[in-house]
Amino acid sequence: TMLAIGCDHGGFQLKKAIEAYLEERGIEYKDFGCPDETSVDYPPIAAAVAHSIANGECERGILCCGTGIGMSISANKVDGVRAAVCTEPYSTEMTRRHNNCNCLCLGGRVLSPEKALELVRIYLDTPYEGGRHQRRLDMIAQIERGEL
């Protein structure tokens, strides 16, 4: 499993905490920036992470900005990416079970590192359920193709 990781300045500290957690767990990741807390625009970083997921280089991603919202709006523009902003455990579990979320978006100005790492753990450890939910994900792919 290769994870794609990215952030802007608002999510930089959180990204560092997440990378330390991934290293602790022996999970491989590719860091798409940014490299420090200097102010940067989030859309190109979201795009790089999203494309790496869409083209199969990475299986899933995690994006951090101030709220997680700008990253999610940007990442969801790329076909095949299902990005979700999460702030609490239940939604994090359900976006894996039901939406097969492949890009978790977190807010460094919203979550404590402890809370965020709990959500990362849930995101990594919860499987997609498939079944009736696949029909709905197929419909999302239809929207991407302009068929819906």
Active-site positions read: 65, 98
Query: What's the min distance (Å) between Cβ of 7 and ligand RB5?
Result: 8
Alpha-carbon Rg for the chain, nearest whole angstrom, is: 14
Torsion angle of alpha carbons 56, 11, 27, 30, nearest 10°?
A: 40
Could you please report the per-residue DSSP string of 94-139? HHHHTT---EEEEETTTS-HHHHHHHHHHHHHPPP--THHHHHHHH
CB of 43 to ligand RB5, least distance (A): 10
- Considering the complex, state which of residue 37 and residue 93 has its C-beta at the smaller distance from ligand RB5: 37
- H or E, element range at 84: strand 83-85
Which residue lies nearer to ligand RB5 by CB, 14 or 100? 14
Least CB distance to ligand RB5 at residue 33 (A): 13
Assigned token pair, 125:
């450890």
Q: What is the footprint of ligand RB5 within residues 3-32 (CB under 6 A)?
A: 8, 10
Within positions 34 to 73, which residues make up the interface with ligand RB5, using CB under 6 A? 42, 65-67, 69-70
Residues of this chain that bind ligand RB5 (CB under 6 A): 8, 10, 42, 65-67, 69-70
